[in-house]
């Protein structure tokens, strides 16, 4: 079964983005700034303190950089859940979904001179949250875990249909958060990264290991992971 790329978001995360659980509207007030403007303001207000952990397309971060290139020297680090450097993609043979959905933004972010770590399918597919782990997690019975338990079936249905995982799920976004909390859980290699922005291979993340394509800052590319450590960290954060 192959779905158009613009349909995959709702198939994976539900029509409401929350596993079709339809939670009540948030109580907070929407700010008037755009996301890009907010990033710029926060970067100047808290220089060298902010770590961005995007778990979707990099549109807002690229727009912030175009709005004010100075923020490249003010952001502490960007830890990206995205990319597939040495493994097949999950939305095309070569592309990971978050990068694919705005490859131009991703290439802008990779080209900027700021600290970037790429937590891609190279490591997120190595850490699997199996059904036994899920059931152990649900015993915590706190509001966060209860919400996850409600959301999870929609996500599991996608992984079951497309990957035949039988209720297990890959650990994508939580791996990026884990990397932000404890980077020692991940092994990295450094190289410039280019993102293909056109043609059949659009969205492909290419590591220039031999630095043959010119002068571009290095990206820290996660190439291996302590999966047991990541799962232990997830459980600790959700149940303590």
State the Cα–Cα distance between residues 103 and 95, nearest whole angstrom. 10
- Whether residue 118 contacts residue 85, with contact meaning beta carbons closer than 8 Å, is answered with yes
> 194, 110 in Cβ contact below 8 A?
yes
Q: Hey, CA dihedral for 55, 59, 201, 7, is it positive or negative?
A: positive
Structure tokens at 222: 């996660």
- The four Cα atoms 100, 104, 106, 109 give a dihedral, to 10 degrees, of 180
Structure tokens at 27: 């109580």
Active site residue 44: no
Q: How far is CA 81 from CA 15, 27, 29, 136, in A?
A: 22, 28, 27, 26
Catalytic entry in 44, 48, 101, 172: 172
Task: Say which DSSP state 27 is in.
Answer: S
Q: How far is CA 58 from the centre of its chain?
A: 10
Distances (CA, A) of 45 to 19, 40, 41, 50: 35, 9, 6, 10
Contacts with 171 (C-beta within 8 Å, 6 or more apart), sequence order: 124, 127, 128, 129, 227, 230, 231, 234
Residues with a known catalytic role: 172
């Amino acid at each position: 079964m192959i779905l158009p790329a613009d349909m995959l978001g709702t198939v994976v995360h539900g029509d409401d983005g929350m596993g079709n659980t339809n939670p009540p509207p948030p109580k907070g007030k929407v700010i008037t700034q755009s996301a890009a403007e907010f990033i710029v303001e926060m970067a100047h207000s808290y220089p060298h303190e902010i770590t961005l952990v995007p778990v979707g397309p990099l549109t807002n971060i690229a727009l912030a950089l175009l709005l004010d290139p100075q923020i490249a020297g003010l952001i502490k680090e960007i830890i990206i859940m995205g990319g597939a450097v040495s493994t097949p993609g999950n939305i095309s043979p070569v592309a990971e979904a978050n990068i694919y959905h705005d490859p131009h933004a991703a290439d802008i972010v990779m080209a900027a001179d700021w600290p970037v770590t790429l937590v891609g399918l190279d490591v997120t597919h190595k850490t699997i949250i199996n059904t036994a782990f899920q059931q152990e997690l649900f015993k915590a019975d706190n509001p966060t875990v209860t919400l996850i338990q409600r959301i999870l079936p929609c996500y599991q249905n996608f992984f079951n249909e497309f990957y035949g995982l039988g209720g297990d799920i890959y650990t994508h976004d939580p791996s990026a958060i884990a990397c932000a909390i404890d980077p020692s859980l991940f092994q990295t290699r450094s190289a410039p990264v280019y993102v293909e922005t056109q043609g059949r291979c659009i969205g492909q993340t290419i590591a220039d290991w031999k630095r043959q394509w010119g002068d571009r800052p290095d990206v820290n590319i996660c190439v291996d992971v302590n999966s047991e450590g990541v799962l232990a960290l997830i459980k600790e954060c959700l149940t303590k």
